[in-house]
Amino acid sequence: MQENLKDIAEKVNLKVISEKLNEYVRILKLAKRPKRDEFFKISKIAGAAMALVGFIGFSIYVLMTVLPQGF
């Protein structure tokens, strides 16, 4: 009885895994490589976002270290 339950559980897990893999393969087939200008545009936006986050972090750091010493 327990062996039958294990077999059923393994089949269900394999079925779920195969369905997920099929979904991933379908998405990868729909995906396309970006053109050169799209890639550079995305890279510039990502670089600007990283620079902005770095500037905000540096500003907070400076405020937290310089401001307490001034008082």
pLDDT value, residue 17 = 80
What DSSP string describes 22-48?
Answer: HHHHHHHHH--PPPHHHHHHHHHHHHH
Structural contact between residues 24 and 32, judged by C-beta atoms closer than 8 angstroms: no
Number of domains in the chain: 2
| 21/51 same-domain check | no
pTM recorded for the entire structure: 0.55
Whole-number Å distance between alpha carbons of 33 and 30:
10
pLDDT value, residue 9 = 65
| 41/67 same-domain check | yes
Q: Give the C-alpha distances (Å, rounded to integers) separating 42 from 21, 38, 54, 58.
A: 28, 6, 18, 24
Structural domain harbouring 55: 35-71
The yes-or-no verdict on residue 8 having pLDDT over 70 is no
Q: What is the pLDDT of residues 14-62, one digit of tens each?
A: 777 888 889 999 999 998 889 999 999 999 999 999 999 999 999 999 9
pLDDT value, residue 71 = 62
DSSP state at residue 52? H
